[in-house]
Amino acid sequence: MAKSNLSFPEGFLWGGATAANQLEGAYKEGGKGLNLADVLPGGKARLKLLSQAGFDFEMDTTKYSYPNHEAIDFYHRYKEDIALFAEMGFKVFRLSIAWSRIFPNGDELEPNEEGLAFYDRVFDELHKHGIEPLVTIAHYETPLHLIKEYGGWKNRKLVEFFERYVKVIFNRYKNKVKYWLTFNEINGATHMPLFGLGFSPTSEETRLQESFQGLHHQFVASAIAVKLGHEIIPESQIGCMLIYAPVYAYDSNPENVMYAQQESRIFNNFCGDVQVRGEYPSFINRYFRENDIDIAMEDGDLELIKEGTVDFISFSYYMSRTEKKKKSPEEVGHGNLVGGIKNPFLEASDWGWEIDPIGLRISLNELYDRYQVPLFVVENGLGAYDKVEEDGSVRDDYRIDYLREHIRAMGEAIDDGVELMGYTAWGCIDLVSASSGEYAKRYGFIYVDKHDDGSGTLDRKRKKSFFWYQNVIETNGEEL
Ligand code: BG6
């Protein structure tokens, strides 16, 4: 263990992060309705579907497997899992509520009691161990009925259904949950509308128009949720959730610097500006004009957005992005999920995601400089192949190295003056990958015996990183 020489504030919220659809399984139990993740195939086919237009949301079990159906069976094993989180010393656990457990179709008037009772049990178990829940209200889990019947978030009706859903969960869990996030990685919407907005673009030509319209509906819905949350749970803290990837210019050519700045504004800043400052930023007008985007708004929307600003910014950080105005075909498509061209200074993970801890310090400083609200890193981690040794151990030193450098970067950013509430490592227990639908892409401190061919006992096992993270939490980041 190396002494870090960095100090994290007292009460810093160390923990781990997950999402219902990637963890719970039991996809038809407890009255749950189907949602988006239930119809997404596992394996390579998934990413392709996510990035192209025209997915029909039908399952084809003759061709594909559907790993989210069983996931890692947290639905039945949550007590064992939460005990392991407690053993690591978690102060906070990020999870999402699956909307279709509460409203199986999404448009009912009355909620499903069994679904509500499940999360009561989970929150009670967390509190029993002194762990604070951090709840994402919508994490890539739009009820399937809202997708098929209404066209997902393109349709304004979803605002009303979402309002009903958040009213129910705020009232039900008002004494159990203080930290909330509205929409997971809201700014990923234009990139992969299927995930966040619950629709597949009609065509490539309509992608931007439909996505920004869907985003507007989510801004309104998020603002309603923030206002309601503050009324129903006065001590609540409600954040937005961004996917943040600082954009570097490939070189000092001013054309490239300008291009990188523009890309960063649209991808990284637009949603935060709306949700934190409560206004559409002026730079978006030109972008809308040049891309023929015309947002339909209702009277009162802009006032609502102004009134429903978030208390803090949470974000996921996995990689940075390097940009150049004129890219040759060979330069693009190198595996970095957020695009750009290959950065010659960075190594990449087995899935091609560029590893850049300094980028996290840059992100924290950029966000804090721009907004001056507390920040929360609610996702970060290394998806990697793990091997179980003959003696049963998993020696994931590569994951420890990755996390150590990113935690160090957070410490540096705190020293730079950034106000940081906490850190929840993504996939603290192995789960189904969102973009690739694989079990093999593992992030956890806890190994789950489950494989892409469907085999496995689902048994849990502590990896080397489990003990390492336990010590990090115990020493409040002093020993990394
Ligand atoms: C984020 C999502 O984009 O990245 C998570 O919020 C996801 O749901 C995580 O799992 C890691 O991505 P992946 O594709 O490796 O699971």
Catalytic residue among 125, 379, 412, 438: 379
Q: Closest Cα partner for 95 from 144, 141, 164, 43?
A: 141
Q: What is the pLDDT along the chain (480 residues), one digit of tens a residue?
A: 666 678 899 999 999 999 999 999 999 999 999 999 999 999 888 888 777 778 889 999 999 999 999 999 999 999 999 999 999 999 999 999 999 999 999 999 999 999 999 999 999 999 999 999 999 999 999 999 999 999 999 999 999 999 999 999 999 999 999 999 999 999 999 888 999 999 998 888 899 999 999 999 999 999 999 999 999 999 999 999 999 999 999 999 999 999 999 999 999 999 999 999 999 999 999 999 999 999 999 999 999 999 999 999 999 999 999 999 999 888 886 778 888 999 999 999 999 999 999 999 999 999 999 999 999 999 999 999 999 999 999 999 999 999 999 999 999 999 999 999 999 999 999 999 999 999 999 999 999 999 999 999 999 999 999 999 999 999 999 999
125 within 8 A of 166, measured Cβ to Cβ: no
What's the CA-to-centroid distance between 434 and ligand 1, angstroms? 5
In degrees, rounded to 5, the angle at the alpha carbon of residue 244 between the alpha carbons of residues 130 and 274 is 95
CA dihedral (362, 363, 364, 365) in degrees, to 10, reads: 50
Q: Can you give the pLDDT at residue 275?
A: 98
* pLDDT at residue 204, rounded to an integer: 84
pLDDT number for residue 266: 97
The DSSP annotation for 51-96 comes to: HSS-------TTT---GGGTTT-HHHHHHHHHHHHHHHT-SEEEEE
For residue 110, indicate whether it is catalytic: no
CA distances from 316 to 47, 392, 424 (A): 19, 32, 9
pLDDT at 2: 65
For ligand 1, whether the C-beta of 21 sits within 6 Å is no
The reported pLDDT for the residue numbered 45 is 82
Task: Check residue 1 and give its pLDDT.
Answer: 63
pTM: 0.97
Domains of the chain: 13-474 (3.20.20.80)
Ligand 1, pocket-test mutation among 141, 377, 433, most atoms within 8 A of CB: 433
Residue 31 has what pLDDT?
Answer: 98
State the pLDDT at residue 70: 98
pLDDT of res. 121: 98
Task: Taking the CA atoms of 180, 185, 190 and 193 in sequence, report the sign of the dihedral they define.
Answer: negative
Question: Which residue from 177, 157, 329, 324 is spatially nearest to 239, judged by alpha carbons?
Answer: 177
The closest-lying atom of ligand 1 relative to the alpha carbon of residue 316 is 1
Any atom of ligand 1 within 6 Å of the Cβ of 436: yes
- Mutate which of 379, 399, 452 to test ligand 1's pocket (most atoms within 8 Å of Cβ)? 379
Kindly provide the b/e burial profile for residues 417-448, where b requires at least 16 CB atoms within 10 angstroms of the residue's own CB.
ebebbbbbbbbbbbbbbbbbbbbbbbbbbbbb
**DSSP strand pairing (13-17 vs 92-96):** parallel
Please say whether the beta carbons of 443 and 426 come within 8 A: yes
pLDDT value for 333:
67
> Would you say the CB of residue 184 lies under 6 angstroms from ligand 1?
yes
Q: Which residues, including other chains, have CB under 8 Å from residue 327's CB and lie 6 or more apart?
A: 341
Query: For residue 232, how far is its CA from the centre of ligand 1 (angstroms)?
Result: 31
